[in-house]
């Protein structure tokens, strides 16, 4: 998924922001085994820390929201350039195909990781038997077809993209209605990106959706192909926000402008959300509903401010051509698709080692990214796989 303008100009800082969002996902998943409580992950390490919980809460609040906003921005660019047929073809090639093929290739490896994780906690791991059992689950199809991997975000991206095309087709049949909707959307975006109250304004509907999550914070809808309504609304909101920003690109600078006030608001929201999150399971608390209200609003402000600040920081520091950044941006889609089985297997291998959790986490992330980059350069970048993921084949780094 290369990020480029319709005039072949690359937005280098948005390339970097997108790569960051996906790489942060690798670190997020690599951190799960170091949580101080067992949440049903493949394995739990002997070294844990509450710091990991804080990191995961913060990173989970905005990394995919950032990705969906950027996806909306550049989806509109593709839509404007190629119109409906070209847009649908690009969604099929770069989203649907990786989602389906990736599921069939990765699901058995992930299942085998869970089997090995359970075995490791009993002191014995049989890799070959775990792999056999993992691939044997494909014989249960169509039960749980396309369910149960980290690729669910592609499913939602595809649903949202197709919904946008459908709405465009409906509105396009009624020109006067379409013009009114477009004008209203543009005026709303102009106000949101210009007002000092913008973060609060978008946080209100976001907080309303967060209220209906199964858990405090963003749910991970990987258990069913039936769309999770609150999650769908939030990711759709970020996608549409990015879509509309591309219609008025001057507003992107307003939305991502850095200020000490925005940093302070973000920090305050992070502290508040982390403090209030401790009351999630205290259902008998006399002020439970009020505390949850404070949490979802703080979480929503944290979400939007982190997305805004992240893009702003990358624009400030990386708004220039860089071969390294471009290579990482080109490879980041592949890295995220392939990383989870590698991460889980490494977590199992490291789980019983008498090392500090931070050392293990750095090692797992470094090995995963290094191995994935080697596979990308050797098997993907200059092949048909690279053409599917990046839009065209690119020369290897030799």
pLDDT in tens, 215-264: 999 999 999 999 999 999 999 999 999 999 988 878 888 899 999 999 99
Q: Where are the alpha helices (DSSP H) in the chain?
A: 12-31, 50-60, 63-91, 97-120, 127-136, 152-172, 175-194, 198-211, 229-247, 250-255, 260-276, 288-318, 323-350, 357-375, 384-390
Q: What is the mean pLDDT of residues 155-171?
A: 92
pLDDT in tens, 61-118: 999 999 999 999 989 988 888 888 899 999 999 999 999 999 999 999 999 999 999 8
Angle, nearest 10°, between helix axes 288-318 and 12-31?
Answer: 130
Q: Which two tokens stand for residue 64?
A: 């995919």
Q: Which of 230, 220, 215 is nearest to 280 (CA)?
A: 215
Model pLDDT, residue 184: 86
User: Is residue 3 one of the residues assigned to a domain?
Assistant: no
User: Is residue 149 one of the residues assigned to a domain?
Assistant: yes
Can you tell me whether residue 147 is helix, strand or coil?
coil
Q: For residue 26, how far is the Cα from the chain centroid?
A: 10
Q: Give Dmax (Cα) for the chain.
A: 69
User: Is residue 164 one of the residues assigned to a domain?
Assistant: yes
Residues 6+ away with beta carbon under 8 Å from 304? 65, 199, 202, 203, 206
User: Is residue 70 one of the residues assigned to a domain?
Assistant: yes
Q: Which two tokens stand for residue 148?
A: 């149960």
Model pLDDT, residue 7: 42
User: Is residue 290 one of the residues assigned to a domain?
Assistant: yes
Which residue segment(s) compose the domain that 361 sits in? Answer: 12-390
Q: Is the dihedral of CA 342, 338, 361, 156 positive or negative?
A: negative
Can you tell me whether residue 92 is helix, strand or coil?
helix
User: Is residue 205 one of the residues assigned to a domain?
Assistant: yes
The neighbour count for residue 302, using CB atoms within 10 Å, is 27
pLDDT in tens, 169-199: 888 777 777 788 888 888 888 888 877 888 9
User: Is residue 241 one of the residues assigned to a domain?
Assistant: yes
**Rounded Cα–Cα distance for residues 220 and 80 (Å):** 31
**3 in Cβ contact with 14 (< 8 Å):** yes
Model pLDDT, residue 36: 95
Model pLDDT, residue 10: 67
**Rounded Cα–Cα distance for residues 215 and 233 (Å):** 16
User: Is residue 240 one of the residues assigned to a domain?
Assistant: yes
Q: Grade residue 3 by pLDDT with cuts at 50, 70 and 90.
A: very low
Q: Which of 205, 310, 201, 333 is nearest to 252 (CA)?
A: 310
Model pLDDT, residue 180: 82
Q: What is the mean pLDDT of residues 116-124?
A: 83
Q: Which two tokens stand for residue 217?
A: 């914070």
Counted domains in the chain = 1
Q: Which two tokens stand for residue 72?
A: 């909306």
């Amino acid at each position: 998924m290369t990020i480029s303008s319709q005039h072949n100009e690359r937005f280098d800082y948005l390339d970097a922001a997108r790569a960051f969002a996906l790489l942060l996902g690798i670190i997020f998943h690599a951190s799960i085994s170091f949580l101080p409580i067992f949440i049903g992950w493949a394995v739990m390490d002997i070294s844990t820390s509450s710091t990991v919980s804080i990191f995961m809460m913060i990173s989970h609040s905005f990394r995919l929201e950032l990705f969906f906003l950027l996806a909306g921005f550049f989806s509109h660019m593709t839509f404007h350039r190629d119109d409906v047929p070209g847009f649908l073809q690009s969604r099929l090639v770069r989203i649907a195909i990786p989602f389906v093929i990736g599921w069939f290739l990765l699901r058995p490896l992930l299942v085998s990781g869970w089997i090995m994780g359970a075995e490791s906690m009993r002191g014995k791991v049989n890799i070959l038997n775990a792999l056999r059992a993992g691939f044997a689950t494909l014989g249960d199809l169509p039960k749980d077809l396309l369910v149960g991997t980290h690729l669910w975000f592609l499913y939602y991206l595809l649903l949202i993209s197709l919904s946008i095309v459908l709405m465009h087709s409906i509105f396009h049949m009624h020109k006067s209605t379409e013009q009114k909707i477009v004008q209203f959307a543009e005026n709303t975006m102009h106000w949101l990106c210009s007002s000092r109250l913008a973060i609060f304004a978008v946080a209100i509907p976001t907080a309303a959706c967060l209220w209906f999550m199964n858990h405090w914070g963003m749910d991970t809808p990987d258990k069913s192909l039936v769309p999770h309504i609150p999650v769908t609304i939030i990711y759709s909101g970020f996608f549409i926000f990015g879509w509309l920003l591309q219609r008025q690109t001057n507003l992107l600078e307003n939305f991502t402008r850095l200020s000490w006030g925005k940093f302070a608001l973000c920090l305050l929201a992070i502290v508040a959300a982390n403090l209030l999150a401790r009351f999630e399971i205290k259902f008998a608390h006399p002020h439970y509903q009020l505390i949850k209200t404070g949490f979802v609003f703080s979480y929503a402000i944290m979400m939007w401010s982190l997305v805004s600040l992240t893009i702003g920081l990358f624009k400030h520091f990386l708004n220039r051509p860089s071969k390294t950044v471009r290579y990482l941006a080109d490879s980041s889609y592949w890295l995220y698709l392939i990383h989870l089985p590698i991460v889980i297997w490494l977590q199992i291998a490291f789980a019983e080692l008498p090392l500090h959790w931070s050392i293990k986490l750095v090692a797992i992330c470094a090995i995963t990214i290094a191995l994935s980059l080697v596979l990308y350069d050797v098997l993907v970048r200059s092949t048909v796989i690279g053409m599917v993921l990046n839009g065209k084949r690119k020369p290897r780094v030799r």
